[in-house]
Amino acid sequence: MNQTETEKNILVAAEEVFLEKGYQATSMLDISRRANCNQALVYYYYRSKENLFTKIFSEKTELVFNSFADPLREEQDILDTIRTMVNAYFDFLSQNERLPYFVVNEIMQNPDIQQLIIDIFEKNAVRMGVFMQFDNRVREGVQSGLIRNIDSSDLMIHIVSLCVATFISKSMLTRVLTFDNDATNDYVSHRKQEIVELIIRGIKQ
């Protein structure tokens, strides 16, 4: 069933308010005001704030894992896979810049949302396929002598944490050092290249 325009507007509004105020401080009234609709409509379509959050975060999680899945479908070695995965993840984060800070903040401050985020993550249908394919790609690299023996989970954590850290630090640097758009873009581009080189130098034989 296709979403109505009202449903889509509510989702967009809810995402904006969640990212601005955090889960706990967001109310259904806030969301209805941002969506320019009656609060009853928000409840009619989504029933609760938790349902709205689950819908939004599930879609973001799907996008994250698909950004990793696409490079793994290509016929390339682990080093080129890392390059394409970092590029793809940077593209996703560039389109969702406030998401990393939001997730880290909620996990640190809100145990209920921490568990909800974990549940959404674990229920994602693409997740296991991505990890299995990535693990196979890493094992092939180790067996061929291209890279040192490294656990695929450690390597995935390196990729994700370094990419996420770039966008969290970008927000701080923009405020503290008053980066303009060109300087900010240069910083992100530089960090992307550095992350790729840092990871590859760390795992090559």
Q: What is the count of structural domains for the chain?
A: 2
Q: Which residues pair with 147 in a beta bridge?
A: 204
Tell me the CA distances in angstroms from 181 to 20, 57, 81, 122, 186, one per residue in order. 21, 28, 29, 36, 9
Same domain, 135 and 182: yes
Residue 171 pLDDT greater than 80, yes or no: no
Query: What are the tens digits of pLDDT across the range 118-146?
Result: 999 999 999 999 999 999 999 999 999 99
Using pLDDT thresholds of 50, 70 and 90, give the confidence band for residue 154.
very high
Query: What are the tens digits of pLDDT across the range 174-201?
Result: 766 666 778 788 889 999 999 999 999 9
User: What is d(CA 32, CA 40) in angstroms, rounded to the nearest whole number?
Assistant: 8
Residue 113: name the closest of 27, 11, 46, 22 by CA. Answer: 22
Same domain, 104 and 139: yes
Residue 117: name the closest of 90, 99, 135 by CA. Answer: 99
Using pLDDT thresholds of 50, 70 and 90, give the confidence band for residue 1.
very low
CA torsion sign for 197, 66, 125, 6 is: positive
Query: What are the tens digits of pLDDT across the range 8-56?
Result: 999 999 999 999 999 999 999 999 999 999 999 999 999 999 999 999 9
Domain that holds residue 30: 1-47
We report the CATH number of the domain holding residue 13 as 1.10.10.60
